[in-house]
Amino acid sequence: MTGVEETYKRIEGYEDQIITFQADLTSRVALGPDNGGTGEHEKAAYLKKRLKELGPDHFEEIRAPDMRAKDGYRPNIIALWERHIRTPATWVLCHMDIVPPGDLSLWDGDPYQVRVEEGKIIGRGVEDNQHGIVSSYFALKAIQESGVTFRRPVGLAFVADEETGSEYGLDYLLKNHGELFKNDDLIIVPDGGNEDGTMIEVAEKSMLWIKFTVTGKQCHASTPDKGNNSLYGAARLIVDLEGLKKEFNLEDDIFSPSISTFEPTKFEANVPNINTIPGKDVFYIDCRILPSYQVEDIVESAKNIAKDLAKRLDLSIKVEQVYIYDVNANDFENDVLTYSLLSYPKGMTIDTLTGIINWIPAKEQIGEHEITVNVEDRWRNDTQNFTIEASEILLTSIDVVPEYIILAEKYSNLLSQKFLTVTANYDYGSSKSIALSECNYESSDENIAFADHTGMISATSRGKAVITVSYTENGIKKSDTIDVFVRSLPSGEG
């Protein structure tokens, strides 16, 4: 039996160990701060212990500073065997972080407790990317136990933050510990493929995120004729955007799937109560585009679809490209080019293979930012410098719901504090809920009705009063109104 055959045989005998390994990893939740977690520390601690059992020549934990995470850092693990051999190394690169499980009601059990059904391990993260961690670990273990001699250095890199940009994972390693990797090293990334493991990815599609803000007119659900339902408009727009698939329908079998994809994903919360027709809805689509197409053409087509629907439904629809910048470079010898950011604001990322930059600025990042992009092959490099400006988002209006209430004479509406909602709207399509205590209230006739600083509305005598609700932010004041109708209690009540 050859060394390779012996290795395969040993791997087949690891089934129970693999299931246990997957269960141990899955129970150690590794959500980054952007996904509501504290980082990958618990999973990293477990992997450190398991890797040391394989006796690496070099082992280190590299901590990327991240004050949002537990203990102020994100862990990255490096392990090397046969480091002394003077040949290019073979690396397996995997990530420890996972994405949230989503709607728990759609799981048949606890997503962080694995179960085995029909030969498949089910649990959050078992495929993305624990299958890479587990397969590389047991492949190395089997090779060692089979007595096969390494002919080149072998390394395992288990990194943080792949799911939200790699700023605290691979990107941090390349910028601060680039000496670990040589230009002619072979790096295997088991983060995709097919069921029988025969697919090897050699290219990636361009990535594009588009934000759509649909604005109509908010009103009470009992009087839809007084408003214009933005949720209906958003739903219609999502259906109309299916047209992108027909317009950009080329196929390329080098990719899987072989087509460009355009999928609606995130939908922001609108009104908090069921009896209000929303006046603003925001959603996003994720686009993965074949190299045959330009990103700009996709955006332009999406804008045309939105413009046509907005005209038909009398809505306002804003189409925004979540910041993306495509850096293009050519190499006359057709060497593989690698892109990186040398100077950039926090949160900005670049795809190392395509050169596409993504960034969503934070409030404290308003102003100009100098960007330096580096591209290199095995022999030389070049840089590009440019400036981008992030603008301040300003308050444009507020919406008060409901539009009216009916009270009995000499009655304080205690429930008004619960059901009265104030939403602040901003340019660039964003919005947020405002606490009632942050608003000011003025009545057109306090002898009929008035509101105190908590938003509680009280009636004093019969008639109609208009309560003006105002909110001020950064020196900008916006107002909306609520009509209060005060009636007498029927005889025998009160």
Catalytic residue numbers, as ranges? 97, 162
In angstroms, the CA 16 to CA 20 distance is 6
Orientation of helix 130-146 relative to helix 3-12, angle to 10°: 130
Q: Which residues of 233-267 are buried (b: 16+ CB within 10 A; e: fewer)?
A: bbeebbeebeebeeebeeeeeebeeebbbbebeee
In angstroms, the CA 248 to CA 140 distance is 43
In angstroms, the CA 82 to CA 177 distance is 19
Nearest C-alpha neighbor of 336 from the set 174, 215, 185, 164: 185
Q: Which two tokens stand for residue 54?
A: 């394989």
In angstroms, the CA 201 to CA 192 distance is 8
**Helix, strand, coil fractions of the chain, as percent rounded to 5:** 25, 35, 40
Strand ranges of the sheet holding 356-358, from the earlier edge strand across to the other edge: 324-326, 356-358, 349-350
DSSP state of 251: B
Q: Which residues contact 368 (CB under 8 A, 6 or more apart)?
A: 387, 388, 389
The three-class DSSP label of residue 15 is helix
In angstroms, the CA 478 to CA 209 distance is 31
Q: Which two tokens stand for residue 311?
A: 């005209």
Phi/psi of residue 485, nearest 5 degrees: -105, 125
Q: Which two tokens stand for residue 400?
A: 């008060």
The three-class DSSP label of residue 18 is helix
